[in-house]
Amino acid sequence: MTRPDRRMALTLFILEFGYHTDAWRLPGSRAEEVGHLSLTRDMVQAAERAKIDAVFFADSLDVDSVRNGGNRATGLNEPVSSMGAMIPVTQEIGLMGTISTTFTEPYNVARQLAGLDTLSDGRIGWNIVTSIMGNHNFGMSKMPSPDVRYRRAAEFVEVVKKLWESWDGDAVIADREAGWWVDADKIRDIDHVGEFFNVQGALNMASPPQMHPALVQAGQSETGVSFGSSVADVVYTAQPELSRAIAFREDFHRRAAKLGRDPRLIKILPGIMPIIGETEAEARDLAQQLADLINPAQGRWQVERVLDVDTSDLDLDDMIPPERLVDHPDRHERWRSLHRPMAERMTIRELMVELSRAAGHQWVVGTAPQVADRMIDWFESGACDGFNLNPPDVPVGMHRMLDLLVPELQERGYAQHEYRGDTLRERMGLEVLRTPKTTTVL
Ligand SMILES: Cc1cc2nc3c(=O)[nH]c(=O)nc-3n(C[C@H](O)[C@H](O)[C@H](O)COP(=O)(O)O)c2cc1C
């Protein structure tokens, strides 16, 4: 068998409830521990044993899901504290966390990420989001428009990068004899004056080990992808179909190349939720078992929320009348390209199961070799550089992914057996901004 000449980048989405809606209702779930060290640590350590490149902590800044009828909360793994807690209990795995540019200030964020990157010896990534909700928790009567949010995000990242660069790499001299710990000539103010931020700088911390912690982004709209292609080292994306995933990656590469960036150093990682069984029949049974756990009120709520329609007068086996699926300029790209087309061919009950499985991401039911075949097909077709692995349920579904699927990919030469390199950027094959301490072969 010929070995592939490049390997997949793999990250694990830390979804402690499980990705499948209501998977937490399984008798063996660890729903009581969500957000607690015991569970987060077990998940991240399991990912490190499987040599996953990084774990990913998402975030939201509101409790709207619960307030509007959802049966559980989101945002229970606050990313900065979660990454911090994982540093001493892991050695090599990357730690990626979400921070919103809409509700924070660049000076604070530059410090938090520089601190984490320093404490972890260069293992940190930042998922840059502009948030779609949360305004009422930050003194704003409504959310800024997507255009304003992304303009602020672009300037935000520019300021943060300047702050990370405001200390030269050799500014700390610790010269005991002369009595200087730091060489002040190697620290510069940034004097940033812009549309959203005025920041004098410099940062009050040394430049982080990676200089820039890895930058992650998941915009799907024209504005979002345009921003992402200018900054992202790692790109998350919801791609349920192969041809669209190929087109997305080609378009992203074209945009990045136009900006003078090397697309080979950018990792585009669509999400995938594999429901894995020892046999195909067992996998199908597990998928059905998870579908049966969906709380019908919650499932309907999810359909109504994602599609933004009222279905209260409809039976679960009805289709949503097309005239209710009205497009308007505030619709998200995903609504237009993924969710509405789904609603045009599925009943409410089928939509409930579909959205519980993946909310726009790819899902696959099968044995580990079957799931690996699908992933390799996508990878070899140019649809992606790897995947963000969504565990259907925790802990069993997650362990099947890490302990059955990942070894299958390793055996076929598509997943790494060992970490190589000193920082997340080196280990993952991203742009390296400082001279590496050791040579990395990826
Ligand atoms: C895998 C993945 C993870 C995401 N994580 C977050 C998150 O943690 N917090 C958040 O506010 N948005 C998150 N998003 C949403 C994106 O940042 C983005 O807003 C969304 O894809 C819509 O694109 P747009 O902003 O260009 O309209 C995520 C998206 C994807 C695909």
Identify the CATH number of the domain in which residue 220 sits: 3.20.20.30
The pLDDT assigned to 358 comes to: 75
The alpha carbon of 275 and the centre of ligand 1 are apart by a number of angstroms equal to 23
CA 136 to chain centre: 25
The alpha carbon of 170 and the centre of ligand 1 are apart by a number of angstroms equal to 36
Q: What are phi and psi of 217, to 5 degrees?
A: -150, 150
Tell me how far apart the alpha carbons of residues 437 and 126 are, in angstroms, rounded to a whole number: 23
Tens place of pLDDT for every residue, the chain, 442 residues? 677 889 999 999 999 999 998 999 999 999 999 999 999 999 999 999 999 999 999 999 988 777 777 787 877 899 999 999 999 999 999 999 999 999 999 999 999 999 999 999 999 999 999 999 999 999 999 999 999 999 999 999 999 999 999 999 999 999 999 999 999 999 999 999 999 999 999 999 999 999 999 999 999 999 999 999 999 999 999 998 999 999 999 999 999 999 999 999 999 999 999 999 999 999 999 999 999 999 998 899 889 989 999 999 999 999 999 999 999 888 887 788 889 999 999 999 999 999 998 777 899 999 999 999 999 999 999 999 999 999 999 999 999 999 999 999 999 999 999 999 999 999 999 999 988 765 444 4
CA 397 to chain centre: 19
Ligand 1 atom 31: residue of nearest CA: 237
- Atom of ligand 1 at shortest range from CA of 227: 26
311 inside domain: no
pTM of the model: 0.94
374: helix, strand or coil: helix
Looking at this predicted complex, what is its ipTM?
A: 0.99
* Omega before residue 395 within 30° of 0, cis: yes
Tell me how far apart the alpha carbons of residues 394 and 400 are, in angstroms, rounded to a whole number: 10
440 inside domain: no
- Atom of ligand 1 at shortest range from CA of 57: 8
The alpha carbon of 31 and the centre of ligand 1 are apart by a number of angstroms equal to 24
134 inside domain: yes
Pocket-forming residues, ligand 1, beta carbon under 6 Å: 58-60, 98, 127, 129-131, 146, 218-221, 224, 236-238, 271, 332-333, 388
Which H helix or E strand runs over 343? helix 340-343
Ligand 1 atom 28: residue of nearest CA: 218
- Atom of ligand 1 at shortest range from CA of 128: 17
283: closest CA among 379, 393, 376, 361? 393
Number of domains in the chain: 1
203: closest CA among 313, 104, 113? 113
330 inside domain: no
Amino acid at 103: F
Give the tokens for residue 117. Answer: 């990157």
Tell me how far apart the alpha carbons of residues 293 and 88 are, in angstroms, rounded to a whole number: 36
165 inside domain: yes
Tell me how far apart the alpha carbons of residues 32 and 342 are, in angstroms, rounded to a whole number: 34
Q: By residue range, what is the domain housing residue 420?
A: 9-279+360-428
Tell me how far apart the alpha carbons of residues 79 and 126 are, in angstroms, rounded to a whole number: 9
294 inside domain: no
The answer to whether the annotation marks 62 as part of a ligand binding site is no
